[in-house]
A and B are shown apart, each in its own frame.
Chain A
C-alpha cells in the first residue's frame, strides 16, 4: 500500500516534533498512564498504612503519600487523561478532519504539560509535600514542605489544559466535514466540547489562586493567612471555584465514551440524543454554581449554604437523564458483552452509586455529619474511578484496535475487568460505612473500631491491583502479538471507523461527506 499508517511514518525521532494529533494523543496516553501507575503505587502505600490502626510508616510520610496520590491522579492523570489522550486522537477523526485546528499549539500543550508535571514531580526529590491535593491555607503557607514546586507545577499544567481546550473548541466549530451539522456530531464530541468550555473558563481561576498562594508563602502578602490579616476561607472559595467544575472536566468525557460504546454494542440508536447532548452542557453550566457545597461546615453564611445545597441538588437532574438514556438504549437491542461494553455497563452501575451518594452530601444537615469523612472519599472515588477511569478503560479497549491496528485479548480483557470491578467495590464500598460511623479522612492512625472495614478495603485494593496489572499487561502484549484488527471490528457508524487501522497520517483519503447521523442502527418502520 502506498500510504503508511501514522505509527510507521517518520521513524522514532519524528515523535518529538510531530504535529500529528494521533501521535500527540498517543504520547499523552502513555504519559498519563505512567502517572496513573505512579499515583496507584502511592494509593497502595496508603492502603498498606491503614491495614492496622497504628502508624506503620512515620505519620509525615503517610501525609506525603496521600498528597502525592491525590495531586498526581488529579492533575497528571484524570484531568488530561481522556480529553488530551483519547480526545486528541478521536476528535478530528470523528468529525472528519485531518487534524486539530492548531497542530503546533497542540504539540506545545504537550510539552507545557510535561514541564509542569516534571516541576511538580521534582517535589518528590525536594522533601515532598504534605498539604493534601487541596493545598488549604493557612496550612499550605505554614508547612515547611515543597508546596511552591507542586503549586507551580499545577499552575503550568493549567496552561496546557487551557490551550488544549481552546484548540478543541475551535476544531469543533471550524473543521467539521461537509454535512456534519451539530446534531450529527457523535456524543463524544459534545462531551469533549462541553469539557473544553469548562477548561478554558475555570482553569485561569486556579492559576490565580495558586499564584496568590506562592506570593503568600514568599512575600507574606496577607491574603489567606489570618495572622497577616488574610482570610483562609477565601482560599477555599477560589480553590473550589475551579476544582468543582474540574470534577466535570474529569467526568464529562467519560460520559461521552459510554454513549458511544453502549450504542455500538447494542446496535441501537442512542436513546434521547439531544437530551444527552444538552445535559452535558447543562452539567457544565451548573458546575460553576455549586462550589460552596465543599464548604458547608467552613463557617460560610447560612444563606450561602442554602443556595449551594439547592443548586447542587439540581445537578442530579441532567445526570439522571443521562443514566436513564443509556439504560433505555439497551431496550430491544442486540447486546454483546465485549470488554468495552462490560466497562460501559460497569460505569452505569458504579456511577449510579457515586451519583446517589452525592444526595447525602448535598443535603446540608446530613453533610454536617459526613463532611470530611470516608463517606466523601468513597463518593469521590465512585464518581472519579467508578465513573471516569472505568469509562477510560471502556474507551481504551474500544479504540485500541483503531489506534494500534491490533486486537486486545478478549479473554484477558474480561478476566481483568472482573478483578477490577470486584476489587474496586471491595475497596470503596466499605468506606461508605466507615464514613457513616464517623471515620475522618486523612488519618494515618485510627480508632480500633474502624479496623475491620479498613482491612477489607486494603484487601480490595490488592484485588484491584491484580486486575490493573493484568489489563495493562494484556494490552501491551497485544501491541506485539495481538491479532491484526480490521478497519471496523465493532461495526461502528462514526467516522473514525471509516479510516484504516491504524489510520494514515491524514486520516481520510478524502474528506468525507455526511448524510446521516452517527447512530443509525436498527430497522426503520
Chain B
C-alpha cells in the first residue's frame, strides 16, 4: 500500500515550493476534517435517542458570536493560503533574463521541440540540470497542455497564440511529460520523454549533433537563419527593413522586446504574441505613424515558420549578427523538385505519418502502401476505389467515406492545404 502512495520525485526548482504549500493545506484539511467529523461523531454517540429522550432537547436558535468568530478565523486562514499560493505562482510567471529557449509545438498527438541551434526532437526533451529553461509553446490544431508532474509544472498549449513555461531542472534523470488537456483519440499517448543531463553531458549532446547531422540528412540551419529566409521568401523586406530605416512599415532593428506606440493611443510590448497577431490580423494593432497596408499571412505560414520569424526578429534586437546563409535549406524550394517529392515533404510536414504508415503496417489509420487503384471496404458496407478523386476527398472531407475497421477520426484539411499541396500529396500517395 505504501508504494501506492509513494512520493513523487522533486526534480525542478518549483517542486519543493508546490509540495510545501500542498503539505500545509493537507494538514490544515486533516485537522479541520477531524474537528468537524469528531464533533459530529461525539454528538451522535452522546445524544443518541437511547440516551436522550425525544422531548428533552433544549431550544437553541444559534449563537452569533461563535458563528462570527469561526468565519473570521477561517477567512484569515484562506487568505494565508491564497497569498502563499500567489507568491509561489509569481515565481513561475517571471523567468530569469537568460534562459535556454526551446520552441514547442503540440500536434495531435505528439510534441515537437526545436532548439536554438536548429536541433529538433520529437516526443523528447533534453535539458541541462541546473540551468533555466524556457519553453515557448503553441499548438497546430487543438488545445494541449504540457505537464511534467515531477517538475510540478503545467501550461496549456493553445492554437493561435504562444504560451510560456519556465523551470530549472534540479535532478539528473528521465521523466515523463503528459498532455493534460483532452485532445482526442490518442490523448493518453501524447507523452514526451524528458531527459535531464549533467551540464557537461548536455553540452556534449548539444554540440555533437552538428557532426551527426552532417552525416545524416540533418538540417543545420538555425531558427534565426530560417526566419531570415522566410522574411525574404514572403517579401516582408519589401515593406520592413532591418537596418533602422522606416519604409512602408516600421523597421525591425532593435524593436523586439520594446514597447511600441500604437495608432489611436496606447502601446504594446512587441513579443511573440504581438508578432503572431500582426502576421495573422495585421489591422488589429497598427504601429503609430504607419498606414494599415499589411495583408494577412493567415494560412500562408506554418506555426514553425512563425516561430522562426520571431527568432529572427528577436535576434535583430540582441545585436547578434545574423549567421551566414547555409547552402542547404528546406524553406525556399527550388523549382526542380517534382510534385511527388514535394508531396513526400508535405506528408511529414502535415504529420500524415502520425496516423498513416507507408510500409503496410496498420496504425491509427490504414497504411497507404500500394493502395492506389485498389478497392477498399467501407464502414457501413460497400466499397470504394482509391482514385485521385477519393484521395482528394478524404483530405477535405474525411468523414464521408471511412475505411472499414478504422475510427472516424481524421480531421479535415480543407483550410490547411492549398490546391497545390493537395495535388502533391495525392501524387505522392499514388506512388507509395
Which residues of A are at the interface with B, using a C-beta cutoff of 8 A?
58-60, 63, 127, 130-132, 136, 138-139, 142-145, 226-233, 266-269, 271-275, 297-299, 302, 305-306, 309-310, 313-314, 316-317, 320-321, 323-325, 327-328, 330-337, 345, 348-349, 352-353, 356-357, 359-360, 362-369, 371-373, 430, 433, 436-438, 440-447, 452-453, 456, 491, 520-525
Contacts and interface: CB of A to CB of B under 8 A. Distances in A.
Nearest to A370: B22
Contacts of A345: 40, 44
Interface string B374-418: 000000000000000000000000110000000111111001100
A63 B90 CA distance: 35
Contact of B33 (A330, A352, A430): A352
Interface stretch (B124-132, B146-154, B249-257, B315-323): B146-154
Contacts of A136: 142-143, 181-182
B158 A226 contact: yes
Q: Which 4 A-B pairs have the closest CB atoms?
A: A438-B149, A226-B160, A363-B85, A365-B88
B359 interface: no
Given A337-B44, A348-B36, A271 B155 contact: no
Contacts of A132: 182
Given A333-B47, A368-B18, A372-B180, A60 B407 contact: yes
A59 B363 CA distance: 13
Contacts of A233: 158
A225 to B, nearest CB: 8
Contacts of A144: 398-399, 408-411
Contacts of B156: 297-299
B298 to A, nearest CB: 7
B71 interface: yes
B61 A269 contact: yes
Interface string B164-183: 00000000000010111111
B143 A321 contact: no
B59 A321 contact: no
A522 B59 contact: yes
Interface in B290-328: 298-299
Contacts of B17: 365
Contacts of A353: 33
Contact of A229 (B152, B188, B280, B407): B280
Contacts of A58: 407
Nearest to B18: A369
Given A60-B185, A267-B54, A365 B92 contact: yes
Given A313-B81, A368-B89, A433-B4, A59 B188 contact: yes
Interface string B44-84: 10011100111111111111001100110011001101101
B39 interface: yes
A365 B85 CA distance: 5
17 contacts: A130-B184, A226-B160, A227-B159, A227-B415, A269-B61, A314-B78, A331-B47, A333-B43, A333-B52, A348-B36, A363-B84, A365-B17, A365-B86, A366-B18, A443-B187, A522-B59, A522-B60
A330 B46 CA distance: 10
A300 to B, nearest CB: 9
Contacts of B239: none
A139 B44 CA distance: 51
A241 B415 CA distance: 31
A345 to B, nearest CB: 6
Contact of A334 (B4, B32, B49, B59): B49
Contacts of B145: 297, 372
B263 interface: no
B322 to A, nearest CB: 30
B235 interface: no
B154 A372 contact: yes
A142 B416 CA distance: 12
Contacts of A271: 60-63
B47 A60 contact: no
Contacts of B22: 360, 366, 369, 436
A359 B81 contact: yes
Which among B61, B63, B280, B410 has the highest number of chain A CB atoms within 10 Å? B61
B40 A226 contact: no
Given A138-B141, A227-B299, 10 more contacts: A229-B298, A302-B93, A314-B78, A334-B47, A349-B37, A349-B40, A360-B25, A362-B81, A363-B85, A365-B89
B19 to A, nearest CB: 9
A309 B85 contact: yes
Contacts of B150: 438
Interface string B212-224: 0000000000000
